[in-house]
């Protein structure tokens, strides 16, 4: 698990952190003499939220930005807790045969990821797995949208999603992917026991390699004729079908 401060840079990134996640912003650095009115807005909002603000020269901003385009604004930010894939095995083991893992294959929109994390936390999910690359990470907008879930449900960042799915299978976890182009229904799956539910990104759904590592593929029946649901809505439907099946009696 890691939880540490890091520097975020750029007007939009700093403004979002100050607006949506002020409690995790330790200080804001702004370029002295900057004429951009948004810099003044960030300073005003940060001071209103009692965040330390310093006006510094461009060289100081260049130093903390680490090569990122800072546009005259940077902030020291407490990153959300994340786990590496090697931590996942212990989480599954601790679930005692009833692990419920959500795997998101390339979600790009931070509002969608935040909503998925909120559903996962409400469903009592064991963990949420996201790729380290080519997917949105847990940023200020995600944390705001998740209503706190981003800091309560374990988020595992996987370097190689296919390998992570194989490792889950070796632990006896059944991998069920959701896809709109198959005949099997979600409601025909047995979602008790150790289960991982895999959903794809907004544009392309599950990637080919991810599909190939699923034990089964199923769709959410939609009598209304739509071809697909928003990924966060589909996540909620799938997770709470698992919850329904696991209820006693």
Annotated binding site for S-adenosyl-L-methionine: 200, 220, 229
Coarse DSSP helix, strand, coil percentages of the chain, rounded to the nearest 5 percent: 40, 25, 35
CA 136 – CA 80 distance, rounded (Å): 13
Q: Which residue has the tokens 């997917």?
A: 135
Phi, psi of 45 (to 5 degrees): -65, -40
DSSP-based three-state secondary structure for 84: strand
Helices (H), the chain: 11-20, 37-48, 58-65, 88-94, 110-122, 140-145, 161-170, 208-212, 231-246
CA 147 – CA 129 distance, rounded (Å): 19
CA 127 – CA 130 distance, rounded (Å): 10
Surface-to-core class of residue 170, CB atoms within 10 Å of its CB (0-12 exposed, 13-18 middle, 19+ buried): exposed
Question: Are the beta carbons of 75 and 138 closer than 8 angstroms?
Answer: no
Residue list, annotated binding site:
200, 220, 229
CA 16 – CA 162 distance, rounded (Å): 33
Question: Are the beta carbons of 41 and 164 closer than 8 angstroms?
Answer: no
């Amino acid at each position: 698990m890691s939880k540490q401060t890091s520097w975020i840079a750029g007007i939009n990134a700093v403004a979002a952190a100050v607006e949506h996640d002020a409690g995790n912003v330790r200080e804001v650095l702004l370029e002295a003499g900057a004429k951009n009115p948004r810099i003044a807005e960030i300073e005003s909002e940060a001071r209103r939220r009692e965040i330390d603000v310093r006006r510094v020269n461009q060289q100081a901003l260049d130093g903390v930005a680490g090569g990122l385009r800072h546009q005259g604004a940077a902030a020291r930010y407490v990153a959300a807790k994340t786990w590496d894939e090697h931590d996942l095995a212990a989480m599954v083991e601790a679930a005692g045969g009833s692990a419920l893992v959500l795997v998101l294959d390339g979600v790009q929109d931070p509002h969608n990821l935040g909503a998925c994390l909120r559903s996962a936390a409400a469903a009592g999910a064991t963990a949420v797995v996201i790729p380290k690359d080519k997917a949105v990470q847990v940023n200020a907008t995600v944390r705001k949208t998740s209503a706190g879930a981003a800091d309560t449900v374990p988020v595992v960042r996987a370097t190689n999603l296919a390998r992570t799915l194989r490792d889950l299978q070796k632990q006896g976890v059944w991998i069920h992917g959701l896809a709109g182009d198959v005949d099997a229904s979600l409601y025909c799956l047995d979602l008790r026991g150790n289960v991982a539910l895999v959903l794809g990104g907004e544009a392309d759904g599950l990637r080919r390699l991810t599909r190939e590592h699923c034990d089964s593929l199923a769709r959410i029946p939609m009598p209304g004729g739509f071809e697909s649901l928003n990924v966060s809505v589909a996540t909620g439907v799938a997770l709470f079908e698992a919850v329904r099946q696991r209820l006693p009696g």
